[in-house]
Amino acid sequence: MMALADLYRAEFRTSLATMFQYRASLVIWLISQVLDPVIYLIVWSTVAEASGGRVGDYTTGDFAAYFIVLMVVNHLTYTWIMWEYEYRVREGTLSAALLHPVHPIHADIAENLSSKAVSTPGILLAALILSLIFHPTLHFVGWAVAAFLPAVSLAFLLRFFVEWTLAQCAFWTTRVSALNQMYFVAILFLSGQVAPLTLFPPAVQTVAALLPFRWMISFPVELLLGNLTPQEALTGFAAQAAWIAVSLVLLRIVWRAGVRVYSAVGG
């Protein structure tokens, strides 16, 4: 464990230095993280105003609170591994990682966390500015605020393990763009990014609850906003834990099978 901790510290320092070298790219990426929820916020606020100030249980202030918190949660759980893995396999850069004495996933986790350490202050500043502009209606509950940090941490792990597993499809095909697009369309609708899940038909809500998507993003958002009861929060934590266990098993199986068939196309 001490060796693994030393590895994470070293990887974190290296990744942090790399992030500061590509400051312009980081700023562009941050802008993209802010734009999508702002667009959805404006759209739903307009719909609410046209419908007498409310859509379902959401007022314009509720929509503002939801999408601002969602922006922060999406940032804290976001990964880019599905876009990178195809390149690693196709160009052969994965070969060097396979020679390391530890699993390559640790370097990816450290890189992701270092990116968040650099970019999260910018997202929080954006959230503050948007709050001053759109005046969100916030009803924080003490126990829910305390439970938010473990909820968003588990959401990050779940999303990372699922996407790292799916990224390994690149072992069998060097063009995974179609799979990536299908996945991101699914998570866009079933994780509550387009709209709060309570505004969807019951069938869609059921599918979102059965699949891991809700527990990656929507659950921490609902929790922080005080929209869940303690029993619903416990159910959410149980769902996160169950899906993390499933995703770890699948990750291990797919990784072992993928490494056996791996051959770099380039590099």
CB 19 within 8 A of CB 114: yes
pLDDT score at 189 = 93
* Spatial distance between the Cα atoms of 211 and 126, rounded to a whole number of angstroms: 30
What's this model's pTM, rounded to 2 decimal places? 0.89
pLDDT at 197 over 80: yes
Query: What would the pLDDT profile of 68-80 be if each residue is shown by its tens digit?
Result: 999 999 999 998 8
Considering only residues 4 and 181, tell me which one the structure prediction assigns the higher pLDDT. Answer: 181
pLDDT score at 128 = 95
- CA-nearest of 229, 126, 31, 60 to 237 is 229
pLDDT at 19 over 70: no
pLDDT score at 33 = 83
Percent of the chain with pLDDT over 90: 55
pLDDT score at 171 = 87
pLDDT at 16 over 80: no
* Spatial distance between the Cα atoms of 82 and 61, rounded to a whole number of angstroms: 35
Q: What average pLDDT does range 139-167 have in this prediction?
A: 95
Query: What would the pLDDT profile of 22-43 be if each residue is shown by its tens digit?
Result: 666 667 777 888 888 999 999 9
Q: What average pLDDT does range 79-85 have in this prediction?
A: 84
Query: What would the pLDDT profile of 203-255 be if each residue is shown by its tens digit?
Result: 999 999 999 999 999 999 999 999 999 999 999 999 999 999 999 999 999 99
Q: What average pLDDT does range 84-97 have in this prediction?
A: 81
The dihedral through the CA atoms of 114, 163, 99, 253 has a sign that is: positive
Instruction: Kindly state the tokens that stand for 40.
Output: 């959805």
Q: What average pLDDT does range 82-91 have in this prediction?
A: 82
Q: How far apart are the first and last CA of the chain?
A: 33
pLDDT at 134 over 60: yes
